Structure 1
Amino acid sequence: MTIGYDAEQLASTARAIGAQVIRVPVRYRGREGGLDVGDVDIERPLCELKDQEVLVIVAPLRPAQKVPTICGLCVTPYEGGECPACKAEREEAKRVVEERLLFDQEFSALLSEG
């Protein structure tokens, strides 16, 4: 048995006993953050069950695709251990500082000669 098969069986059983089953893709919004649950207004079926105790089951139909990490500083999605945009900015800033220090050292040397 697979995840998808088991989830489909669960949905079939749920429908058979009169439960509402919603099958939609869950997508990450990207830079905005948060998740979209298809085009479904998830509040509508929940409002119909207001003041009742409900059981919510969320089951994947297939293994998930890897979702990229979102950088907490620049909100760029990336994979791996470090945000490439922030890494590039840090490396550029380091290069600029090193150039400035070299310039200052050379300028100081010229002033002390003269």
Structure 2
Amino acid sequence: MRLYGIATCDQVRRARKWLEAQGVKIDFIDLKTQPITSEKLREWLNRVPYDSLMNKRSLAWRALSIEQRRSVVDQASAIELMVSSPMLIKRPVLEMEDRLIVGFSEPLYEGLSLALSPV
């Protein structure tokens, strides 16, 4: 199980703390130090729509020009923008064998508790 995010992000810290409290071992991938690949994004986008993965409420989104925002019209253009600016990815992303959870919600994570295997 892998958790992707930014170490300083409040939501990522909450998710990590929650998973740790459940005794779940995760591999944490910091998107600031380990750039995301277009291949990984394609894999994720086979599980969730690009507009669920791209955080349009983020500072990174608001910093884009209007032209850049309008350029996101499909999966390919979303991937291109997220690879060049990983801060646009909604965080955290919890990658499990058969599921991908975008964002942190304690009730949602609690619903996964039967699938989570403490190590």
Quick check: TM above 0.5? no
Question: Higher Cα Rg: structure 1 or 2?
Answer: 1
What is the TM-score when the length of structure 2 is the normalising length? 0.23
TM-score by length of 1: 0.24
